[in-house]
Structure 1
C-alpha cells in the first residue's frame, strides 16, 4: 500500500515543471533573503536549469539551501543579459558546481566568458533562437542596445516564458516566442522593465499581452510596484506571485523538438 501511494505521488509530480524563484527583490517568502536582481530554478524537466543568478552569490546559495535546492543538481545555467544583478551570483555558484553548461548571449564580453571557462564550466554562445533540450528554448539575442535572451518552456497548455529584465520589451519577447514555436502563451514571468513607465504605457503593454491571449502572468524584479498591481488587476485570479521564494507550476508537454 505504501509503495502504491508513493508511485501515485511520483506520477503526479512528474506531470508538472516548477519554476522556483530563488533570487528577487520582490518579497514573497519571509524566510528568504531578498536582493535586487533575478534568479530562478526550473525543475521537472529532462535537465534542471538555473536562469540568472541574481547579484550576490552568497544570497543565491543561501536561498537555494533554504528552499532545499542542491547546487550540484543544476545541469544548465542560462544568463539573460550582462547586468550584474543577473550575473553577479555566477562565480559563487560555479565555485559550488562548475560541472554545468552556461548558455549566454554571444555579445557577452570576452573577459566574462574567459572567467566562466576558467572556473570549469562549458559555454554555449547564443545568437539565434536555439533548442537547449526538448521543450526548452532560447529566444536568441534580442534588442538593439542591451542584448538579452529569454527562456521558453513548452508546456501542455502553451508556452511559459521566463524573462530577466525584458530590455527588448516584454511584448517583443512574447511575439518572438510565438514566432519560434507557433503556440499560445500560457505564462510570462520575470522582470518586465516597467519601473519608470507611465500608467498609459503599462496599460498599452497589458492590452498587447491580452491581445496575444497570455493566460497567466507573474511579473517581478524590475517591473515596478505600481505596474505589478496593474497586472494583478488585469489578470485577476490568473495573476501569480513571482517574488523571492514563490513557486509556479506549469503542466508538462509531450516532448517534441524544433525541426
Structure 2
C-alpha cells in the first residue's frame, strides 16, 4: 500500500513502454468455471430488450415507486441509466463463488437504487476495484458507504486515481471532481494502491495495473484533458490509472472488463494476453472510449483488431459512442450485444 500522495511528475518516468510478445513468467491466473457480469449502471436502459442464453435482462417491473398521479399511488419503474459505469462480477470455481464490484457509476444513488430494484445485496461483495479516478466511475461510492455501514472493505486503486484533473476548453477550464483518499478511508474502505498487476479472489481475477501501450493508433485523451502536477496543469493523454479486470474462463479464454478503456481496447486485450499467456479472447465488456471526433479515427483499426481476435461476446458500453457501436455490430454480428443497465452476462466453461 502506498502512503504517499500521487504525483503526476512520476508520469515522465513511468510511461508504459512498448512490450511485444509474451512475458517470461506469465501470471498464473486460475481458470474459473463461470463468470457473471451484471451491469449495475450504464449509459443506456432499454426495458424492451429480451433475454437469451447468455444475457438476462431487467425490464420494466424491476421496481415500484410512489407516484400519486396513478390509481393506487404507485408506478412501475426500470433501471436508472446515466453517464457512468458500474458492474458486479461474480466468479465461480467449483463450489466457491466470490463477488467483486468494478466501478460505481456517476451519481451517489444510481448504483444502489438499481441493486435494490434487482434484489441484489451489496453487503456480499468481497472487494471493490476502481478502473480509474474519473468521477463518472466513482460517484456511487457515496451510496455504497451508506449501504454497507462501517465494515472494512478492500478497494484496489492505482495511486494516480487521486489526480486532480480538468478540461481546458476554449470557453474556459472546468475542473473535474477529484476522488479523496482520506474521505474513503474515513468511510472504512481499506484502500490498496497498486501500479502493477494484482491477483484477487485466490488468483481467479486479475487487475491489470498500468497497461502497456503498443498500438500505433490508441493515443489517449485529446489536448484539453489536463492534470495538476502540484505546480502546473499539463496535458494528461494517458490516464495512467486506467486498468481493467481479467478472468480466464476454463476452455474458453479471457473475459476482459473495462471501465472507460482509456488505454485503448486493443492495448488492454493485448496486455491481458501478454500477462496471462492466454491467447483466446472470449469476451470484452465495458466502455471502449471511441465516442466523439477525437476518437472516431480510432474506430476502424480497433474494429479490425477485435474482428481478428474473434471474441464470442462483445458488449461495448458507457463511452463507446454510437458510431463505434454500429461498426462493431456490423463487423461482429454474432458477438455484439446491446448493453443496458441491469443486464447480466453469463460466461461458462
TM over 0.5: yes
Segments of 5+ residues of structure 2 without an aligned counterpart are 1-31, 48-59, 61-77, 164-178, 214-236
Aligned 1:17-28 pairs, distance under 5 A = 17-28=35-46
1:91 is aligned to 142
- Partners of 1:152 and 1:174 lie apart in 2 by 9
Query: For 2:299, what is the secondary structure of its paired residue?
Result: helix
2:271 is aligned to 176
1:146 is aligned to 239
Query: For 2:247, what is the secondary structure of its paired residue?
Result: strand
From 100, 112, 136, the equivalent of 2:205 is 136
Larger radius of gyration: 2
Q: Do the aligned residues in 2 keep the contact of 1:48 with 1:76 (CA within 8 Å)?
A: yes
Query: For 2:136, what is the secondary structure of its paired residue?
Result: helix
- Partners of 2:193 and 2:307 lie apart in 1 by 33
Indicate yes or no: 2:167 matched with 1:120.
Answer: no
TM-score w.r.t. the length of structure 2 is 0.65
2:81 is aligned to 34
1:188 is aligned to 284
2:298 is aligned to 201
Indicate yes or no: 2:198 matched with 1:104.
Answer: no
Indicate yes or no: 2:331 matched with 1:244.
Answer: no
Structure 1 segments, 4+ long, off by >4 Å, are 197-200
1:161 is aligned to 256
Q: Offset at 1:116?
A: 1.4
- Partners of 2:158 and 2:33 lie apart in 1 by 31
Structure 1 175/15 Cα, relative in aligned 2: closer, same or farther at 3 Å?
A: closer
Q: Offset at 1:124?
A: 1.4
Q: Do the aligned residues in 2 keep the contact of 1:47 with 1:76 (CA within 8 Å)?
A: no
Q: Offset at 1:199?
A: 5.5
Query: For 1:237, what is the secondary structure of its paired residue?
Result: coil
Larger displacement relative to structure 2 (71-80 or 236-245): 236-245
Whichever structure has more helix as a proportion of its residues is 1
1:16 is aligned to 34
State the aligned residue count.
239
Query: For 1:19, what is the secondary structure of its paired residue?
Result: strand
Q: Do the aligned residues in 1 keep the contact of 2:42 with 2:86 (CA within 8 Å)?
A: yes
Segments of 5+ residues of structure 1 without an aligned counterpart are 1-13, 253-259
TM-score w.r.t. the length of structure 1 is 0.86
From 213, 222, 226, the equivalent of 2:319 is 222
Q: Offset at 1:15?
A: 5.0
Q: Do the aligned residues in 2 keep the contact of 1:28 with 1:246 (CA within 8 Å)?
A: no
Q: Offset at 1:27?
A: 2.0
